[in-house]
C-alpha cells in the first residue's frame, strides 16, 4: 500500500511556515494589497529562514525539501498572502529553477548559491508582447559578438522585475531558443513601471527591455538552442507550485466560512443550520480534498523524476478553478461581510483570478492535456 | 557555558481537547502536540546565552517516544544535543523534576532553563522542586535575564509589579512570556535536525506523589442576565436562583 503521510521534517516545515505566516504575514496582508508592496523586512525574514531555496539540493545551497516541501511551504504562505507566495514562486519555482534545470554542473556551482540563499532575487523572463501562450514565437534575440552575447528585445508581465537581481532570459539565437543568466545591473536593461493589477497587488510585475545588453559568453545556460525544453520543464514545476499556492487559500476560506456560518444568526439560528449553506461548505471541502490529493501526488512524482507535463497541467487547471469557485462560495456564505474589504475574502477573490491566466492560461493547460491524450490514444 | 534547557510535549492550545475514555487523560485523537510555549522561550534564552558566551545547549525532555518530535524542533532551533529520559507511564511533577535532577548531576550545567509551567497540567512545580533536589537557587517567572561573570540578575513578574533579584551561577531560571521572542527554525536546520542523534536514557522511577483522579472540561459560561432594581426584578432574581441555578 502507498504511504501518504508526510515526514517529520515536512511536518516541521509546515509548522514553522504556518507560524511565520500567521504571526508575521497575515496581520499585514491587507496592507500589502493596499500599498501594492511587500515590506523589505518581510523579504529579509523570508530570506533568513531559508524559504527562497527550500526546494533545491543542499549542495547548491538549498534546503533539500524538493517539490513536496516547496508545495507545503507555498500552501502556508499563500494561506496568509498570495502576493508573497507569488513573489517566492517567481524567484524560486521558475526564476531560479529554470537556471537550475538548464545549467551545467559548473554553472550550478557558480550561479545557484546566491539565488538559493536569496542573496539575489530572480525573475523568469519568457513572455513577450507578441509571445505569451505561443512562447515558441518569441522575438528577443541574442547574438554572439566576440566573447559576449548582445541581447535585444522586450519581455512583458515579468514578476519581480522591479527588484530582481537576476533575469532568466529566453532569447532566440542561431540554433534556436537559448536561456541566459542576465544580471539586472547589465547596461542596456530598463524596467517598465509596475503594472496596476486586479489582484496579487503586492507582487511587482513589469516589462523588461534589452537594448544592446551585453553579457559574458558563458552566461548562456546549458546548451544553445535547447532552452525551449528548459522553459517547459520549468513550467511543470511552476504549475505544481501554483496548485499549492491555490490550495492554501482554499483551506483558509473553508475554515473562515465554517466558523462564520456557525456564528452568523438569521431566523434565530446559525446559518450553518441551513442546508443551503451546508451544501456550499461541503462543495468547498470536496474541491479541497481533490486538489490536495492530486497536488501532493504530482509533487511527489516530480521529486521522483517521473512527472509528466500532463499531470502538472491538470494540477494547475483544477486548482486554479477550484480556488475561484471556493472564493466565490466563501463570499456567498459571508454575504455582505464577504464583499467588504474589512475581511480578507474579497482580496482572495481578486488574487485568485490570475491563477487561471499565468503560468499558461487554463486553455493552454487543456491543450497540453489533450495533446498528450491524443498522442497516447487516451491512455492516462 | 554549559546550558541545559528542559522542554515538554504539550497539546497545542488551539486544539480542541476531549476527555479520554478513562476520564483521567485527554483523548489524543486529532490533537496536535507542540513544544510547551514557555519552554520555547527557555530554549531561545539558552541559544542567546550560547551566542553571547559560547558553550553548548542541551535540550532535555522526560516523556514517551513521541516526545522526540519536540526534541527535533529544539535541534532545528539550534541546540547542540538532545536527550530523552524515557518513560511510558504517567508521571507527576516530582517524577519529572527528579529525572531532570538525575541527568543534570551527570553534566553539571552552569544554568538550567525551563518554562515557568507547562500549559497542559499547569502545576508550576518543576523549577522549584528541581532547585530543592539540586540544592541550587531557582528563580521563577523571569521576564528579563542578565548574566555578568557569575552574577545573575533576573527581573520577575509578581502580582501587580516587577521584582529584581540577584543570584549566582549555577542556577535555575524559569521563563515567562516577555523574556524574548523565540526564533523560527530555519529550513536548512530543520533538514539537518533529522540526522542529529537523540540520546536516550531510562527514567528513574519514583512513587507517584500526586495522582490524577479525573479531569473534566469546564462548563461553558452562560451569558449573564442584567436585571433592574424594581420589585419585579427582585422576584425574577429569586425565581432564577431557584429554578435555573437551583441554589435556593
As a whole number of angstroms, the distance between CA A234 and CA B230 comes to: 77
pLDDT band for position B91 (cuts 50, 70, 90) = confident
Domain membership flag for residue B224? no
Q: Best residue in B191, B192, B223 to probe A by mutation, most A CBs within 10 Å?
A: B191
For B188, the closest of A8, A20, A50 (CB atoms) is A50
Are residues A236 and A368 both part of a single domain?
A: yes
Of A227, A258, A281, the domain-final residue: A227
CB atoms A65 and B184 under 8 Å: no
Question: Which residues lie below 8 Å from residue B108, measured CB to CB, with a gap of 6+?
Answer: B2, B170
As a whole number of angstroms, the distance between CA B144 and CA B135 comes to: 23
B193: closest chain A residue by CA: A9
User: Which residues of A are less than 8 Å from B188 in CB distance?
Assistant: 50, 58, 63
Chain B, 71 to 130: residues with Cβ < 8 Å from chain A are 72-73, 76
CB atoms B187 and A20 under 8 Å: no
Instruction: Give the CATH number, domain containing residue A188.
Output: 2.40.110.10
CA-based nearest distance B128→chain A, Å: 31
pLDDT band for position B241 (cuts 50, 70, 90) = confident
Q: Best residue in A6, A9, A61 to probe B by mutation, most B CBs within 10 Å?
A: A9
- B26 has pLDDT over 80: yes
Q: For this structure, is A359 an active site residue? A: yes
User: Which residues of A are less than 8 Å from B82 in CB distance?
Assistant: none
Is B190 in the A-facing interface, judged by CB distances under 8 Å?
yes
CA-based nearest distance A151→chain B, Å: 37
Are residues A182 and A108 both part of a single domain?
A: no
Instruction: Give the CATH number, domain containing residue A371.
Output: 1.20.140.10
Grid cell digits, residue B40: 520555547
Per DSSP bridges, beta strands B198-202 and B81-86 are parallel
A62: closest chain B residue by CA: B188
Are residues A312 and A367 both part of a single domain?
A: yes
pLDDT digits (tens, 9 = 90+) for B53-88: 999 999 999 999 999 999 999 999 999 999 999 998
User: Which residues of A are less than 8 Å from B193 in CB distance?
Assistant: 9, 12
CB atoms A63 and B184 under 8 Å: no
User: Which residues of B are less than 8 Å from A57 in CB distance?
Assistant: none
Per-residue pLDDT of chain A (380 residues; tens, 9 = 90+): 678 899 999 999 999 999 999 999 999 999 999 999 999 999 999 999 999 999 999 999 999 999 999 999 999 999 999 999 999 999 999 999 999 999 999 999 999 999 999 999 999 999 999 888 888 899 999 999 999 999 999 999 999 999 999 999 999 999 999 999 999 999 999 999 999 999 999 999 999 999 999 999 999 999 999 999 999 999 999 999 999 999 999 999 999 999 999 999 999 999 999 999 999 999 999 999 999 999 999 999 999 999 999 999 999 999 999 999 999 999 999 999 999 999 999 999 999 999 999 999 999 999 999 999 999 999 98
- B227 has pLDDT over 90: no
As a whole number of angstroms, the distance between CA B133 and CA A51 comes to: 44
Owner of C-alpha cell 504517567: B90
Of A199, A227, A255, the domain-final residue: A227
CB atoms B186 and A49 under 8 Å: yes
Half-sphere exposure of B148 (CA within 13 A, CB side): 3
User: Which residues of A are less than 8 Å from B186 in CB distance?
Assistant: 48-50
pLDDT reported for residue A1: 64
Is B27 in the A-facing interface, judged by CB distances under 8 Å?
no
Domain membership flag for residue B101? yes
Residue ranges making up the domain that contains A111: 8-116
Dihedral of the alpha carbons of B65, B70, B71, B76, in degrees to the nearest 10: 140
Residue A18 DSSP one-character state: H
State the complex-level ipTM.
0.83
Number of domains within chain B: 1
Q: Is the peptide bond before A192 cis (omega within 30 degrees of 0)?
A: no
Domain membership flag for residue B171? yes
Is B239 in the A-facing interface, judged by CB distances under 8 Å?
no
Q: Which of A24, A75, A252, A359 is catalytic?
A: A359
Is B132 in the A-facing interface, judged by CB distances under 8 Å?
no
pLDDT band for position B90 (cuts 50, 70, 90) = confident
Domain membership flag for residue A3? no
Domain membership flag for residue A142? yes
Domain membership flag for residue B215? no
Are residues A141 and A39 both part of a single domain?
A: no
Domain membership flag for residue B86? yes
Domain membership flag for residue A141? yes
Burial label, A264 (beta-carbon count in 10 A; 0-12, 13-18, 19+): middle
- B221 has pLDDT over 80: no
- B219 has pLDDT over 80: no
Number of domains within chain A: 3
Question: Which residues lie below 8 Å from residue B57, measured CB to CB, with a gap of 6+?
Answer: B3, B4, B5, B43, B46, B47, B49, B50, B78, B79, B80
Are residues A14 and A94 both part of a single domain?
A: yes
b/e for B90-111, b at 16 or more Cβ within 10 A?
Answer: ebbbbbbbbbbbbbbeeeebbb
pLDDT reported for residue A112: 98
Of A180, A204, A227, the domain-final residue: A227
Taking all residues of chain B, what is their mean pLDDT, rounded to a whole number? Answer: 92
Domain membership flag for residue B228? no
User: Which residues of B are less than 8 Å from A74 in CB distance?
Assistant: none
A63: closest chain B residue by CA: B188
Domain membership flag for residue B238? no
Are residues A91 and A127 both part of a single domain?
A: no
Domain membership flag for residue A181? yes
Are residues A89 and A15 both part of a single domain?
A: yes
Are residues A198 and A284 both part of a single domain?
A: no
Closest CA to B87 of B120, B64, B110: B64
CB atoms B190 and A16 under 8 Å: yes
User: Which residues of A are less than 8 Å from B73 in CB distance?
Assistant: 12, 15
pLDDT reported for residue B243: 83
Are residues A287 and A326 both part of a single domain?
A: yes
Domain membership flag for residue A53? yes
Q: Best residue in B187, B192, B194 to probe A by mutation, most A CBs within 10 Å?
A: B187
| pTM strictly above 0.90 | no
As a whole number of angstroms, the distance between CA A139 and CA A173 comes to: 10
Instruction: For residue A64, give Cα distances in angstroms to A46, A60, A160, B188.
Output: 17, 9, 24, 8
Residue ranges making up the domain that contains B154: 2-202
CA torsion sign, A80 to A82 to A83 to A89?
positive
Instruction: Give the CATH number, domain containing residue B123.
Output: 3.40.50.620
Are residues A177 and A298 both part of a single domain?
A: no
Instruction: Give the CATH number, domain containing residue A45.
Output: 1.10.540.10
pLDDT reported for residue B30: 82
A372 near A310, Cβ under 8 Å? yes
Amino acid at each position: 500500500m502507498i504511504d501518504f503521510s508526510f515526514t517529520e521534517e515536512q511536518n516541521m516545515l509546515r509548522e514553522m511556515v504556518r507560524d511565520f505566516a500567521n504571526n508575521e504575514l497575515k496581520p499585514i496582508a491587507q496592507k500589502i494589497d493596499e500599498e501594492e508592496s511587500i515590506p523589505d523586512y518581510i523579504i529579509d525574514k523570508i530570506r533568513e529562514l531559508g524559504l527562497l531555496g527550500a526546494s533545491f539540493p543542499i549542495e547548491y545551497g538549498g534546503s533539500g525539501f524538493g517539490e513536496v516541501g516547496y508545495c507545503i511551504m507555498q500552501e502556508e504562505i499563500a494561506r496568509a498572502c498570495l502576493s508573497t507566495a507569488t513573489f517566492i514562486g517567481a524567484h524560486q519555482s521558475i526564476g531560479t529553477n529554470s537556471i537550475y534545470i538548464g545549467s551545467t554542473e559548473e554553472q550550478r556551482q557558480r550561479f545557484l548559491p546566491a539565488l538559493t540563499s536569496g542573496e539575489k532575487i530572480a525573475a523568469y523572463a519568457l513572455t513577450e508582447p507578441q509571445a505569451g501562450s505561443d512562447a515558441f514565437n518569441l522575438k528577443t534575440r541574442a547574438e554572439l559578438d566576440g566573447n559576449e552575447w548582445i541581447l535585444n528585445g522586450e519581455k512583458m508581465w515579468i514578476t519581480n522585475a522591479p527588484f530582481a537581481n537576476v533575469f532568466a532570459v529566453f532569447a532566440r539565437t542561431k540554433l534556436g531558443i537559448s536561456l541566459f543568466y542576465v544580471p539586472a545591473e547589465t547596461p542596456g536593461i530598463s524596467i517598465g513601471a509596475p503594472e496596476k493589477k486586479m489582484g496579487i497587488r503586492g507582487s511587482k510585475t513589469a516589462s523588461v527591455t534589452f537594448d544592446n545588453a551585453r553579457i559574458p559568453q558563458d552566461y548562456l545556460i546549458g546548451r544553445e538552442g535547447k532552452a525551449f525544453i528548459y522553459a517547459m520543464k520549468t513550467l511543470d514545476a511552476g504549475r505544481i507550485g501554483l496548485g499549492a499556492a491555490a490550495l492554501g487559500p482554499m483551506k483558509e476560506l473553508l475554515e473562515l466560512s465554517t466558523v462564520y456560518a456557525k456564528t452568523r444568526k438569521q431566523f434565530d439560528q446559525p446559518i450553518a443550520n441551513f442546508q443551503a449553506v451546508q451544501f456550499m461548505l461541503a462543495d468547498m471541502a470536496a474541491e479541497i480534498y481533490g486538489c490536495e490529493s492530486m497536488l501532493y501526488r504530482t509533487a511527489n512524482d516530480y521529486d521522483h523524476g517521473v512527472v509528466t507535463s500532463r499531470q502538472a497541467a491538470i494540477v494547475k487547471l483544477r486548482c486554479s478553478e477550484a480556488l475561484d469557485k471556493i472564493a466565490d462560495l466563501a463570499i456567498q456564505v459571508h454575504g455582505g461581510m464577504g464583499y467588504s474589504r474589512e475581511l480578507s475574502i474579497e482580496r482572495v477573490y481578486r488574487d485568485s483570478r490570475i491563477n487561471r491566466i499565468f503560468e499558461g492560461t487554463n486553455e493552454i493547460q487543456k491543450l497540453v492535456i489533450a495533446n498528450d491524450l491524443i498522442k497516447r490514444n487516451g491512455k492516462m | 557555558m554549559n546550558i541545559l534547557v528542559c522542554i515538554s510535549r504539550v497539546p497545542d492550545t488551539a486544539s480542541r481537547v476531549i476527555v479520554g475514555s478513562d476520564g483521567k487523560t485527554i483523548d489524543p485523537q486529532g490533537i496536535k502536540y507542540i513544544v510547551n510555549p514557555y519552554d520555547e522561550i527557555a530554549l531561545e534564552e539558552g541559544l542567546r546565552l550560547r551566542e553571547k558566551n559560547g558553550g553548548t545547549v542541551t535540550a532535555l525532555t522526560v516523556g514517551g517516544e513521541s516526545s522526540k518530535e519536540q526534541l527535533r524542533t529544539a535541534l532545528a532551533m539550534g541546540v547542540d544535543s538532545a536527550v530523552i529520559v524515557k518513560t511510558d507511564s504517567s508521571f507527576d511533577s516530582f517524577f519529572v523534576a527528579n529525572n531532570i535532577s538525575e541527568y543534570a548531576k551527570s553534566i553539571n550545567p552552569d544554568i538550567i532553563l525551563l518554562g515557568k509551567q507547562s500549559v497542559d497540567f499547569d502545576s508550576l512545580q518543576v523549577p522549584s522542586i528541581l532547585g530543592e533536589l539540586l540544592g541550587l537557587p531557582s528563580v521563577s517567572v523571569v521576564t528579563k535575564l542578565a548574566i555578568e561573570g557569575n552574577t545573575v540578575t533576573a527581573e520577575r513578574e509578581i502580582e501587580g509589579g516587577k521584582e529584581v533579584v540577584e543570584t549566582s551561577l549555577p542556577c535555575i531560571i524559569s521563563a515567562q512570556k516577555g523574556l524574548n521572542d523565540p526564533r523560527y527554525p530555519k529550513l536548512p536546520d530543520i533538514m539537518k535536525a533529522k540526522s542529529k542523534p537523540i540520546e536516550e536514557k531510562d527514567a528513574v522511577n519514583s512513587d507517584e506523589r500526586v495522582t490524577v483522579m479525573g479531569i473534566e472540561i469546564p462548563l461553558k459560561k452562560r451569558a449573564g442576565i442584567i436585571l433592574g432594581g424594581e420589585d419585579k426584578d427582585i422576584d425574577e432574581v429569586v425565581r432564577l436562583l431557584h429554578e435555573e441555578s437551583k441554589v435556593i
